Amino acid sequence: MKNKKILVGVTGGLLGLLSVLLVKFGNPGNMGYCIACFLRDISGGLGFQKVETVQYMRPEIFGLITGAFFVALFKKEHKAVGGSSPIVRFTLGFIAMVGMLVFLGCPLRVVLRLAGGDLNAGVGILGLIVGVFIGIQFLNRGFSLGRATNLPAVNGYIFPITAIILLILSVSGTFIFFASKSGPGSMHAPVIVSVVAGLIMGVLVQRSRFCMIGGIRDFILFRDTYLLWGFLALLIVAFVGNLTVGAFKLGFQGQPLAHTDGLWNFLGMLLAGTASALLGGCPLRQLTAASEGNTDCAIAIIGLIAGAAFAHNFGLAASPKGVPVAGQFATLIGLAVVFLIAVLGTHRFSSIFGGLSHGRNN
């Protein structure tokens, strides 16, 4: 167990280091390894949304899936499973992404932003913690998305093999997909650097089960600090890294790809935190589990991508100028839907509503 704790610390630390380096090599500010931002750029790269500044097939994501897939195969941990409320997971992923784009970052980037001195992220982290805390209240009362069952093996290969094909296309420099000529989508590290960073992280997050939501959740639920170590290592290494390369700038104003609207920074992350806690993990963990053959998590990823496309097509996503009114409404509607799902999926209420009552042995 001690070795595992070191492993999760190394994973978090290396993630912090690579994030700083990826920004140094060209990725947008404080966005070294933001899963939400990358999935959003991929939704643009595939043409699901037409905002010309956020389109790029981020090779980090395909590298990460590939790395996690091969190490899971090697360790005999790859197994095709599914059937645990896929449409609910899609919806939660969709809504979580809206919250993340109102804040401008996933649970990983919130830490990276704080490590870069962006105090708006401090507000975001508070929202995230409150969001996870709310999710836990439902988990403690028996919220469950139900059991997954074993599926024919082919189910477990579609998601990772698609990623491997996209990885090969990225490395070969084939020009098929949309790519921004200006804005955040045009800012990226050289493909090979992104791919290597992705592969390394894929292996490490698969082995350590690294998860940002899990770090907060397990500490609140069980006083278990295992995943929190990764969270802290990420924060400290990214902080020291930013200081070293001169990317640290303390304050609320003028932070890279961030806005200063505290209320919506808080609520956006609260929404992402609650939805992710109900999903069982942050987008990074969903990616890893999907690479291991979990088709429910693959559906959650598709939900995240769809949510990103929707948020950008219909002007819900924030920008450094602030959160549009439509985005504010979307956050409130998202909160209402997540609470409804949480109540309907909770064992204590489910018998009343005739809803989900699996996952428990009574």
Structure tokens at 292: 């291991």
What is the dihedral sign for C-alpha 7, 10, 12, 14? negative
**129 touches other proteins by CB under 8 A:** no
Task: State how far the Cα of 201 lies from the Cα of 212, in Å rounded to an integer.
Answer: 14
Binding mask 98-127 for other proteins (x = CB under 8 A): ------------------------------
Which is closer to other proteins, CB of 60 or CB of 292?
Answer: 292
Query: Which residue in 229, 283, 214, 205 sits closest to 1, CA to CA?
Result: 229
Select from 31, 51, 145, 299 the one that contacts other proteins (CB under 8 A): 145
- Cα 155–36–128 angle (5° rounding)? 110
**289 touches other proteins by CB under 8 A:** yes
- Cα 205–206–207 angle (5° rounding)? 95
Query: Which residue in 331, 326, 316, 321 sits closest to 267, CA to CA?
Result: 331
C-alpha 192 chain-centroid distance: 22
| Segment lying near other proteins (by CB under 8 A), choices 43-51, 109-117, 222-230, 331-339 | 222-230
Which is closer to other proteins, CB of 89 or CB of 259?
Answer: 89
Query: Which residue in 309, 328, 319 sits closest to 45, CA to CA?
Result: 309
Select from 197, 296, 306, 345 the one that contacts other proteins (CB under 8 A): 296
**79 touches other proteins by CB under 8 A:** yes
Binding mask 333-362 for other proteins (x = CB under 8 A): --------------------------xxx-
What is the dihedral sign for C-alpha 309, 276, 143, 349? negative
| Segment lying near other proteins (by CB under 8 A), choices 23-31, 77-85, 265-273, 317-325 | 77-85
| Segment lying near other proteins (by CB under 8 A), choices 28-36, 214-222, 260-268, 334-342 | 214-222
Burial class of residue 287, CB neighbours in 10 A (0-12, 13-18, 19+): buried
Which is closer to other proteins, CB of 257 or CB of 299?
Answer: 299
**144 touches other proteins by CB under 8 A:** yes
Select from 226, 229, 264, 266 the one that contacts other proteins (CB under 8 A): 226
**87 touches other proteins by CB under 8 A:** no
The answer to whether 296 and 89 have CB atoms below 8 angstroms apart is yes
**224 touches other proteins by CB under 8 A:** yes
**280 touches other proteins by CB under 8 A:** yes
How would DSSP label each residue in 43-63? HHHTTSS--TTS----HHHHH
The H or E element that residue 37 is part of is: helix 35-45
Tokens 């894929």 found at: 202
Q: How many residues bind other proteins (CB under 8 A)?
A: 33
Residue 185: CB atoms within 10 A of its CB come to: 24
Which is closer to other proteins, CB of 40 or CB of 209?
Answer: 209
Select from 148, 166, 311, 341 the one that contacts other proteins (CB under 8 A): 148
Residues of this chain that interact with other proteins (CB under 8 A) are 1, 4, 75, 77, 79, 81, 84, 139-140, 144-145, 147-150, 209, 214, 217-218, 221-224, 226, 280-281, 289, 294, 296-297, 359-361
